[in-house]
Amino acid sequence: MRLPAFRVNEDLRIILRNLGLVVPTVGLMAALSLPVAAAFGEEYALWPLGETTLVAFGLGAALYLPFRGAGETRLKHGLLVAAVGWLLVAAVGALPFFLMSSRLSVGTSYPFADMTNAFFESVSGFTTTGLTMSLRPDLLPHTLQWWRSFTQWIGGIGVIVLMITLIAGPRASTLSLYFAEARGEKIHPSIISTIRTMWWIYLLYTLSGTVLLWGAGMQIWPSLNHSMTALSTGGFSLSPHSIAGYSSLAIELAIIPLILLGAINFAVHYSMMHEGGVRALWRNYQTRGLIVLILVWCFFLFLENLATMPVENSARLSFFQAISAATTTGYQTADIHSWTDTAKLILAAAMFVGATAGSTAGGVKVMRAVLLIRGVSWHLRRTISAPSAVLPFRLGDRVLSGEEASRQLQSAAVITFLWAGFLGLGILVLLHTVPEGFSLSDVIFEVASAQGTVGLSVGITRPEMATLSKLVLCFNMWIGRLEIIPVLMLVRFLFFGVQ
Protein backbone atom coordinates (compact mmCIF):
# COMPACT_ATOMS: atom_id res chain seq x y z
CA MET A 1 0.00 0.00 0.00
CA ARG A 2 1.41 3.38 -0.99
CA LEU A 3 1.82 5.85 1.84
CA PRO A 4 0.63 9.43 1.25
CA ALA A 5 3.28 12.07 0.61
CA PHE A 6 2.49 13.73 3.93
CA ARG A 7 1.14 12.17 7.12
CA VAL A 8 -1.40 14.65 8.43
CA ASN A 9 -0.58 14.72 12.14
CA GLU A 10 3.15 14.09 12.10
CA ASP A 11 3.98 16.34 9.14
CA LEU A 12 2.11 19.29 10.61
CA ARG A 13 3.81 18.72 13.95
CA ILE A 14 7.24 18.76 12.30
CA ILE A 15 6.47 21.95 10.34
CA LEU A 16 5.07 23.81 13.34
CA ARG A 17 7.94 22.64 15.55
CA ASN A 18 10.48 24.08 13.13
CA LEU A 19 8.54 27.32 12.67
CA GLY A 20 8.72 27.65 16.44
CA LEU A 21 12.50 27.60 16.14
CA VAL A 22 12.69 30.10 13.27
CA VAL A 23 10.55 32.93 14.67
CA PRO A 24 12.62 33.55 17.85
CA THR A 25 15.56 34.60 15.66
CA VAL A 26 13.75 37.95 15.30
CA GLY A 27 13.44 38.15 19.08
CA LEU A 28 17.17 37.59 19.42
CA MET A 29 17.82 40.33 16.84
CA ALA A 30 15.57 42.74 18.77
CA ALA A 31 17.30 41.91 22.06
CA LEU A 32 20.72 42.47 20.49
CA SER A 33 19.49 45.85 19.20
CA LEU A 34 18.65 47.16 22.68
CA PRO A 35 22.22 48.42 23.30
CA VAL A 36 21.97 50.49 20.09
CA ALA A 37 18.89 52.30 21.41
CA ALA A 38 20.57 52.81 24.78
CA ALA A 39 23.85 54.03 23.24
CA PHE A 40 22.09 56.75 21.23
CA GLY A 41 19.78 57.75 24.09
CA GLU A 42 16.62 56.65 22.24
CA GLU A 43 14.72 55.37 25.27
CA TYR A 44 11.42 55.33 23.39
CA ALA A 45 12.86 52.52 21.22
CA LEU A 46 13.51 50.18 24.16
CA TRP A 47 9.93 49.06 24.69
CA PRO A 48 9.19 48.39 20.98
CA LEU A 49 12.31 46.24 20.81
CA GLY A 50 11.38 44.54 24.08
CA GLU A 51 7.84 43.92 22.87
CA THR A 52 9.17 42.45 19.63
CA THR A 53 11.40 40.15 21.67
CA LEU A 54 8.45 38.99 23.79
CA VAL A 55 6.19 38.45 20.77
CA ALA A 56 8.85 36.50 18.87
CA PHE A 57 9.78 34.22 21.76
CA GLY A 58 6.14 33.84 22.82
CA LEU A 59 5.02 32.86 19.32
CA GLY A 60 8.02 30.58 18.99
CA ALA A 61 7.21 28.84 22.26
CA ALA A 62 3.55 28.45 21.29
CA LEU A 63 4.58 26.73 18.05
CA TYR A 64 7.51 24.71 19.39
CA LEU A 65 6.57 23.39 22.83
CA PRO A 66 3.44 21.39 21.90
CA PHE A 67 5.32 19.67 19.04
CA ARG A 68 8.89 19.44 20.31
CA GLY A 69 8.74 15.65 20.17
CA ALA A 70 7.90 15.59 16.44
CA GLY A 71 9.98 13.49 14.07
CA GLU A 72 12.90 14.25 11.80
CA THR A 73 12.71 17.14 9.35
CA ARG A 74 12.86 16.10 5.71
CA LEU A 75 13.28 18.28 2.63
CA LYS A 76 9.52 18.50 2.00
CA HIS A 77 9.09 19.89 5.51
CA GLY A 78 12.07 22.21 5.13
CA LEU A 79 10.62 23.79 1.99
CA LEU A 80 7.36 24.61 3.76
CA VAL A 81 9.21 25.88 6.83
CA ALA A 82 11.28 28.19 4.60
CA ALA A 83 8.22 29.54 2.77
CA VAL A 84 6.09 30.19 5.85
CA GLY A 85 9.01 31.00 8.13
CA TRP A 86 10.21 33.91 6.02
CA LEU A 87 6.71 35.42 6.06
CA LEU A 88 6.44 35.03 9.84
CA VAL A 89 9.89 36.53 10.33
CA ALA A 90 8.98 39.50 8.12
CA ALA A 91 5.68 40.01 9.99
CA VAL A 92 7.31 39.97 13.43
CA GLY A 93 10.28 41.98 12.10
CA ALA A 94 7.83 44.71 11.06
CA LEU A 95 6.96 45.42 14.70
CA PRO A 96 9.99 47.63 15.50
CA PHE A 97 9.27 49.71 12.38
CA PHE A 98 5.59 50.06 13.29
CA LEU A 99 5.84 50.50 17.06
CA MET A 100 8.68 53.03 16.98
CA SER A 101 7.16 55.08 14.17
CA SER A 102 3.77 55.12 15.90
CA ARG A 103 5.42 56.66 18.97
CA LEU A 104 7.20 59.33 16.95
CA SER A 105 5.03 60.78 14.19
CA VAL A 106 2.99 60.02 11.10
CA GLY A 107 4.03 61.16 7.65
CA THR A 108 6.81 60.89 5.12
CA SER A 109 9.54 61.02 7.77
CA TYR A 110 8.07 58.04 9.65
CA PRO A 111 6.01 56.12 7.07
CA PHE A 112 6.11 52.90 9.09
CA ALA A 113 3.24 54.05 11.33
CA ASP A 114 1.24 52.41 8.52
CA MET A 115 1.57 48.67 9.18
CA THR A 116 1.53 47.92 5.44
CA ASN A 117 4.60 50.10 4.98
CA ALA A 118 6.26 48.51 8.00
CA PHE A 119 5.64 45.03 6.62
CA PHE A 120 6.94 46.08 3.18
CA GLU A 121 10.14 47.45 4.73
CA SER A 122 10.61 44.28 6.75
CA VAL A 123 10.11 42.03 3.72
CA SER A 124 12.48 44.19 1.70
CA GLY A 125 15.03 44.03 4.51
CA PHE A 126 14.99 40.31 5.24
CA THR A 127 14.92 39.41 1.53
CA THR A 128 17.86 41.84 1.00
CA THR A 129 15.91 43.69 -1.69
CA GLY A 130 16.34 47.31 -0.67
CA LEU A 131 13.16 48.85 -2.06
CA THR A 132 12.08 51.22 0.68
CA MET A 133 9.09 53.10 2.01
CA SER A 134 11.38 55.64 3.70
CA LEU A 135 11.91 58.76 1.61
CA ARG A 136 14.19 60.25 4.29
CA PRO A 137 16.17 57.43 5.95
CA ASP A 138 18.60 60.10 7.18
CA LEU A 139 15.83 61.42 9.48
CA LEU A 140 15.03 58.06 11.03
CA PRO A 141 16.21 57.38 14.59
CA HIS A 142 19.52 55.55 14.83
CA THR A 143 17.71 52.49 16.15
CA LEU A 144 15.49 52.26 13.06
CA GLN A 145 18.47 52.89 10.79
CA TRP A 146 20.21 50.00 12.53
CA TRP A 147 17.14 47.76 12.34
CA ARG A 148 16.88 48.29 8.57
CA SER A 149 20.54 47.39 8.10
CA PHE A 150 20.38 44.51 10.60
CA THR A 151 17.45 42.86 8.80
CA GLN A 152 19.41 42.93 5.55
CA TRP A 153 22.60 41.68 7.17
CA ILE A 154 20.80 38.70 8.72
CA GLY A 155 18.70 38.19 5.58
CA GLY A 156 21.86 37.98 3.50
CA ILE A 157 23.15 34.94 5.34
CA GLY A 158 19.62 33.60 5.96
CA VAL A 159 17.29 33.47 8.97
CA ILE A 160 17.23 29.67 8.87
CA VAL A 161 21.02 29.62 8.78
CA LEU A 162 20.94 31.80 11.91
CA MET A 163 18.47 29.41 13.53
CA ILE A 164 20.66 26.40 12.73
CA THR A 165 23.65 28.28 14.17
CA LEU A 166 21.86 28.73 17.48
CA ILE A 167 20.14 25.37 17.71
CA ALA A 168 22.11 22.55 16.10
CA GLY A 169 19.75 19.63 15.58
CA PRO A 170 20.11 16.21 13.93
CA ARG A 171 22.30 16.20 10.81
CA ALA A 172 19.45 15.19 8.47
CA SER A 173 17.16 17.89 9.85
CA THR A 174 19.72 20.69 9.56
CA LEU A 175 20.65 19.54 6.05
CA SER A 176 17.01 19.68 4.91
CA LEU A 177 16.49 23.16 6.34
CA TYR A 178 19.81 24.42 4.94
CA PHE A 179 19.00 23.35 1.38
CA ALA A 180 15.38 24.55 1.69
CA GLU A 181 16.68 28.11 2.12
CA ALA A 182 18.23 28.09 -1.37
CA ARG A 183 21.67 27.09 -0.10
CA GLY A 184 23.15 24.61 -2.55
CA GLU A 185 26.78 24.10 -1.54
CA LYS A 186 28.74 23.08 1.54
CA ILE A 187 32.21 24.30 2.48
CA HIS A 188 32.77 21.36 4.85
CA PRO A 189 31.12 17.92 5.05
CA SER A 190 29.31 19.10 8.19
CA ILE A 191 26.50 21.67 7.82
CA ILE A 192 27.30 23.16 11.24
CA SER A 193 30.99 23.60 10.31
CA THR A 194 29.95 25.12 6.97
CA ILE A 195 27.70 27.65 8.69
CA ARG A 196 30.33 28.59 11.25
CA THR A 197 32.83 29.25 8.45
CA MET A 198 30.23 31.35 6.63
CA TRP A 199 29.76 33.48 9.74
CA TRP A 200 33.50 34.04 10.17
CA ILE A 201 33.83 35.13 6.55
CA TYR A 202 30.77 37.38 6.85
CA LEU A 203 31.98 39.05 10.05
CA LEU A 204 35.51 39.54 8.72
CA TYR A 205 34.26 41.20 5.54
CA THR A 206 31.77 43.37 7.43
CA LEU A 207 34.44 44.76 9.75
CA SER A 208 36.90 45.21 6.88
CA GLY A 209 34.23 46.95 4.81
CA THR A 210 33.45 49.34 7.65
CA VAL A 211 37.10 50.36 7.88
CA LEU A 212 37.37 50.67 4.08
CA LEU A 213 34.35 52.97 3.78
CA TRP A 214 35.48 55.01 6.76
CA GLY A 215 38.85 55.47 5.09
CA ALA A 216 37.08 56.55 1.87
CA GLY A 217 35.41 59.45 3.65
CA MET A 218 32.20 58.12 5.22
CA GLN A 219 31.54 58.73 8.91
CA ILE A 220 31.77 55.65 11.11
CA TRP A 221 28.00 55.09 11.60
CA PRO A 222 27.12 55.18 7.86
CA SER A 223 30.23 53.09 7.18
CA LEU A 224 29.01 50.31 9.47
CA ASN A 225 25.48 50.37 8.05
CA HIS A 226 26.63 50.46 4.43
CA SER A 227 29.14 47.68 5.00
CA MET A 228 26.29 45.51 6.36
CA THR A 229 23.96 46.28 3.47
CA ALA A 230 26.69 46.04 0.82
CA LEU A 231 27.91 42.57 1.83
CA SER A 232 24.35 41.33 2.10
CA THR A 233 23.74 42.81 -1.37
CA GLY A 234 20.77 44.54 0.23
CA GLY A 235 21.19 48.18 -0.73
CA PHE A 236 19.51 50.05 2.13
CA SER A 237 21.26 53.39 2.54
CA LEU A 238 21.18 56.12 5.19
CA SER A 239 21.06 58.76 2.44
CA PRO A 240 17.73 59.61 0.75
CA HIS A 241 19.61 59.58 -2.57
CA SER A 242 21.44 56.30 -1.87
CA ILE A 243 25.16 56.40 -2.74
CA ALA A 244 24.56 59.41 -5.01
CA GLY A 245 23.95 61.42 -1.84
CA TYR A 246 27.62 61.17 -0.89
CA SER A 247 28.89 62.57 -4.23
CA SER A 248 32.18 60.77 -3.79
CA LEU A 249 34.05 58.70 -6.36
CA ALA A 250 36.22 57.32 -3.53
CA ILE A 251 33.16 55.93 -1.72
CA GLU A 252 31.81 54.43 -4.94
CA LEU A 253 35.14 52.73 -5.62
CA ALA A 254 35.34 51.52 -2.01
CA ILE A 255 31.85 50.03 -2.01
CA ILE A 256 32.19 48.14 -5.32
CA PRO A 257 34.54 45.45 -3.90
CA LEU A 258 32.12 44.89 -1.01
CA ILE A 259 29.10 44.28 -3.21
CA LEU A 260 31.16 42.03 -5.49
CA LEU A 261 32.30 39.99 -2.47
CA GLY A 262 28.68 39.64 -1.37
CA ALA A 263 27.72 38.35 -4.82
CA ILE A 264 30.29 35.52 -4.78
CA ASN A 265 29.70 32.04 -3.36
CA PHE A 266 30.87 31.57 0.25
CA ALA A 267 32.74 28.40 -0.76
CA VAL A 268 34.81 30.45 -3.22
CA HIS A 269 35.73 32.88 -0.45
CA TYR A 270 36.91 29.97 1.68
CA SER A 271 39.00 28.61 -1.21
CA MET A 272 40.41 32.07 -1.84
CA MET A 273 41.49 32.42 1.80
CA HIS A 274 42.90 28.92 2.29
CA GLU A 275 44.05 27.70 -1.11
CA GLY A 276 44.49 29.73 -4.25
CA GLY A 277 44.24 33.39 -3.33
CA VAL A 278 42.62 35.60 -5.95
CA ARG A 279 43.17 32.86 -8.57
CA ALA A 280 40.41 30.85 -6.83
CA LEU A 281 37.93 33.45 -8.04
CA TRP A 282 38.72 32.82 -11.69
CA ARG A 283 38.81 29.03 -11.29
CA ASN A 284 35.15 29.03 -10.30
CA TYR A 285 32.94 29.00 -13.40
CA GLN A 286 30.16 30.97 -11.68
CA THR A 287 32.53 33.76 -10.71
CA ARG A 288 33.98 33.83 -14.23
CA GLY A 289 30.46 34.00 -15.62
CA LEU A 290 29.53 36.84 -13.26
CA ILE A 291 32.60 38.87 -14.26
CA VAL A 292 31.94 38.34 -17.96
CA LEU A 293 28.26 39.26 -17.61
CA ILE A 294 29.08 42.41 -15.62
CA LEU A 295 31.46 43.50 -18.37
CA VAL A 296 28.75 42.86 -20.96
CA TRP A 297 26.13 44.86 -19.01
CA CYS A 298 28.63 47.71 -18.46
CA PHE A 299 29.55 47.85 -22.14
CA PHE A 300 25.99 47.98 -23.50
CA LEU A 301 24.80 50.37 -20.80
CA PHE A 302 27.76 52.66 -21.47
CA LEU A 303 26.98 52.72 -25.20
CA GLU A 304 23.29 53.41 -24.58
CA ASN A 305 23.95 56.25 -22.13
CA LEU A 306 26.46 57.91 -24.47
CA ALA A 307 23.48 59.23 -26.43
CA THR A 308 22.27 61.31 -23.47
CA MET A 309 25.36 62.17 -21.37
CA PRO A 310 29.08 62.92 -21.67
CA VAL A 311 31.58 60.08 -21.93
CA GLU A 312 32.92 60.42 -18.38
CA ASN A 313 29.41 60.51 -16.84
CA SER A 314 28.26 57.57 -18.94
CA ALA A 315 31.29 55.53 -17.90
CA ARG A 316 31.01 56.29 -14.18
CA LEU A 317 27.24 55.91 -13.87
CA SER A 318 26.93 52.92 -16.19
CA PHE A 319 29.77 51.03 -14.52
CA PHE A 320 28.37 51.48 -11.01
CA GLN A 321 24.73 50.82 -11.89
CA ALA A 322 25.53 47.72 -13.95
CA ILE A 323 27.50 46.25 -11.02
CA SER A 324 24.78 47.25 -8.58
CA ALA A 325 22.12 45.55 -10.72
CA ALA A 326 24.10 42.41 -11.59
CA THR A 327 25.05 41.79 -7.95
CA THR A 328 21.42 42.54 -6.95
CA THR A 329 22.58 45.16 -4.44
CA GLY A 330 20.49 48.12 -5.53
CA TYR A 331 22.59 51.15 -4.60
CA GLN A 332 21.90 54.10 -6.91
CA THR A 333 24.13 56.87 -8.20
CA ALA A 334 21.75 58.03 -10.93
CA ASP A 335 18.12 58.97 -11.57
CA ILE A 336 17.26 55.83 -13.52
CA HIS A 337 13.71 57.04 -14.21
CA SER A 338 15.20 59.65 -16.58
CA TRP A 339 17.22 57.04 -18.50
CA THR A 340 16.07 55.60 -21.82
CA ASP A 341 13.81 52.56 -22.01
CA THR A 342 16.67 50.55 -23.49
CA ALA A 343 18.95 51.41 -20.55
CA LYS A 344 16.25 50.33 -18.10
CA LEU A 345 15.75 47.04 -19.93
CA ILE A 346 19.50 46.35 -19.92
CA LEU A 347 19.49 46.79 -16.14
CA ALA A 348 16.34 44.66 -15.88
CA ALA A 349 18.13 41.86 -17.76
CA ALA A 350 21.07 42.13 -15.35
CA MET A 351 18.68 41.94 -12.40
CA PHE A 352 16.92 38.95 -13.95
CA VAL A 353 20.13 36.94 -14.16
CA GLY A 354 21.58 38.10 -10.84
CA ALA A 355 24.80 36.78 -9.32
CA THR A 356 26.17 33.44 -8.11
CA ALA A 357 24.39 30.70 -6.19
CA GLY A 358 25.50 30.27 -2.59
CA SER A 359 26.06 34.02 -2.16
CA THR A 360 23.85 36.69 -0.61
CA ALA A 361 22.57 37.79 -4.03
CA GLY A 362 19.30 37.10 -5.83
CA GLY A 363 18.13 36.64 -9.43
CA VAL A 364 17.88 33.46 -11.48
CA LYS A 365 21.61 33.01 -10.78
CA VAL A 366 24.64 32.91 -13.09
CA MET A 367 24.84 29.13 -12.62
CA ARG A 368 21.52 28.62 -14.41
CA ALA A 369 22.34 31.20 -17.08
CA VAL A 370 25.63 29.42 -17.86
CA LEU A 371 23.86 26.05 -17.88
CA LEU A 372 21.22 27.21 -20.33
CA ILE A 373 23.69 29.00 -22.63
CA ARG A 374 25.96 25.94 -22.77
CA GLY A 375 22.92 23.71 -22.99
CA VAL A 376 21.78 25.23 -26.27
CA SER A 377 25.06 24.30 -27.98
CA TRP A 378 25.10 20.86 -26.35
CA HIS A 379 21.52 20.15 -27.40
CA LEU A 380 22.23 21.16 -30.99
CA ARG A 381 25.25 18.82 -31.08
CA ARG A 382 23.12 15.99 -29.72
CA THR A 383 20.48 16.67 -32.36
CA ILE A 384 22.89 16.23 -35.29
CA SER A 385 24.96 13.41 -33.72
CA ALA A 386 24.36 9.70 -33.93
CA PRO A 387 22.10 8.30 -31.15
CA SER A 388 25.01 6.24 -29.83
CA ALA A 389 27.43 9.20 -29.67
CA VAL A 390 28.73 10.17 -26.24
CA LEU A 391 28.71 13.93 -25.84
CA PRO A 392 30.07 15.03 -22.46
CA PHE A 393 28.82 18.27 -20.96
CA ARG A 394 31.58 20.32 -19.33
CA LEU A 395 30.59 22.65 -16.49
CA GLY A 396 33.57 24.33 -14.89
CA ASP A 397 35.96 21.60 -13.82
CA ARG A 398 33.22 18.95 -13.92
CA VAL A 399 32.26 16.73 -16.83
CA LEU A 400 28.62 15.69 -16.63
CA SER A 401 27.15 12.59 -18.17
CA GLY A 402 24.33 13.00 -20.67
CA GLU A 403 21.75 11.98 -18.09
CA GLU A 404 23.09 14.35 -15.42
CA ALA A 405 23.38 17.20 -17.92
CA SER A 406 19.77 16.69 -19.03
CA ARG A 407 18.58 16.66 -15.42
CA GLN A 408 20.40 19.88 -14.55
CA LEU A 409 19.28 21.60 -17.74
CA GLN A 410 15.69 20.62 -17.06
CA SER A 411 15.89 22.00 -13.52
CA ALA A 412 17.45 25.28 -14.70
CA ALA A 413 14.86 25.65 -17.47
CA VAL A 414 11.94 25.04 -15.09
CA ILE A 415 13.18 27.56 -12.51
CA THR A 416 13.89 30.17 -15.20
CA PHE A 417 10.46 29.62 -16.78
CA LEU A 418 8.69 29.96 -13.42
CA TRP A 419 10.79 33.00 -12.54
CA ALA A 420 9.75 34.66 -15.81
CA GLY A 421 6.13 33.64 -15.24
CA PHE A 422 5.91 35.21 -11.79
CA LEU A 423 7.71 38.26 -13.12
CA GLY A 424 5.03 38.61 -15.80
CA LEU A 425 2.29 38.21 -13.20
CA GLY A 426 3.74 41.01 -11.10
CA ILE A 427 4.05 43.25 -14.17
CA LEU A 428 0.39 42.68 -15.12
CA VAL A 429 -0.86 43.61 -11.66
CA LEU A 430 1.42 46.62 -11.28
CA LEU A 431 0.42 47.97 -14.69
CA HIS A 432 -3.12 48.38 -13.35
CA THR A 433 -2.16 49.95 -10.04
CA VAL A 434 0.71 52.38 -10.71
CA PRO A 435 -0.11 56.08 -11.22
CA GLU A 436 0.20 57.79 -14.58
CA GLY A 437 3.65 58.86 -15.69
CA PHE A 438 5.28 55.43 -15.57
CA SER A 439 5.86 53.46 -18.74
CA LEU A 440 5.85 49.72 -19.38
CA SER A 441 9.64 49.68 -19.13
CA ASP A 442 9.36 51.37 -15.71
CA VAL A 443 6.99 48.66 -14.47
CA ILE A 444 9.16 45.86 -15.86
CA PHE A 445 12.16 47.45 -14.18
CA GLU A 446 10.47 47.80 -10.76
CA VAL A 447 9.09 44.24 -10.69
CA ALA A 448 12.40 42.80 -11.89
CA SER A 449 14.09 44.77 -9.12
CA ALA A 450 11.71 43.34 -6.51
CA GLN A 451 11.85 39.73 -7.69
CA GLY A 452 15.60 39.87 -8.23
CA THR A 453 15.89 41.21 -4.65
CA VAL A 454 17.78 44.21 -6.03
CA GLY A 455 16.20 47.44 -4.80
CA LEU A 456 16.88 49.80 -7.71
CA SER A 457 13.82 51.94 -8.34
CA VAL A 458 12.46 54.30 -10.97
CA GLY A 459 10.27 55.97 -8.35
CA ILE A 460 7.26 53.65 -8.32
CA THR A 461 7.95 52.36 -4.80
CA ARG A 462 6.70 55.06 -2.43
CA PRO A 463 4.69 55.19 0.84
CA GLU A 464 1.60 56.43 -0.98
CA MET A 465 1.55 53.67 -3.61
CA ALA A 466 -1.55 51.45 -3.73
CA THR A 467 -1.75 48.71 -1.09
CA LEU A 468 -2.17 46.08 -3.80
CA SER A 469 1.06 47.28 -5.44
CA LYS A 470 2.91 46.97 -2.13
CA LEU A 471 1.60 43.44 -1.54
CA VAL A 472 2.44 42.34 -5.09
CA LEU A 473 6.00 43.61 -4.75
CA CYS A 474 6.24 41.88 -1.36
CA PHE A 475 5.16 38.67 -3.07
CA ASN A 476 7.79 39.11 -5.79
CA MET A 477 10.49 39.80 -3.18
CA TRP A 478 9.46 36.71 -1.21
CA ILE A 479 9.51 34.27 -4.13
CA GLY A 480 12.71 35.84 -5.46
CA ARG A 481 14.54 35.27 -2.17
CA LEU A 482 13.31 31.67 -1.84
CA GLU A 483 13.84 30.81 -5.52
CA ILE A 484 10.21 29.80 -6.10
CA ILE A 485 10.18 26.07 -5.22
CA PRO A 486 9.33 26.53 -1.49
CA VAL A 487 6.52 28.89 -2.50
CA LEU A 488 5.11 26.34 -4.95
CA MET A 489 5.26 23.71 -2.22
CA LEU A 490 3.26 26.04 0.02
CA VAL A 491 0.65 26.57 -2.73
CA ARG A 492 0.40 22.80 -3.13
CA PHE A 493 -0.03 22.47 0.62
CA LEU A 494 -2.80 25.07 0.75
CA PHE A 495 -4.79 23.54 -2.09
CA PHE A 496 -4.25 19.85 -1.47
CA GLY A 497 -3.38 19.72 2.22
CA VAL A 498 -0.81 17.54 3.90
CA GLN A 499 -1.69 14.25 2.33
Comparing 271-280, 351-360, 447-456, the range with the smallest average pLDDT is 271-280
Overall average pLDDT of the 59-76 stretch: 89
- Measured from the Cβ of residue 107, the count of other Cβ atoms closer than 10 Å reads 12
pLDDT in tens, 467-492: 999 999 999 999 999 888 888 888 88
- Identify the pLDDT of residue 1: 40
Q: What integer pLDDT is reported at residue 109 of this predicted model? A: 63
Residue 418, pLDDT score: 93
Residue 145's pLDDT is what? 97
Confidence at 311, pLDDT banded by 50, 70, 90: very high
pLDDT value of residue 105:
63
pLDDT recorded at residue 3: 45
pLDDT above 90 for 290: yes
pLDDT single digits (tens) 144-189 = 999 999 999 999 888 767 666 665 554 445 656 655 655 556 666 6
Query: Residue 2's pLDDT is what?
Result: 44
| pLDDT for res 172 | 47
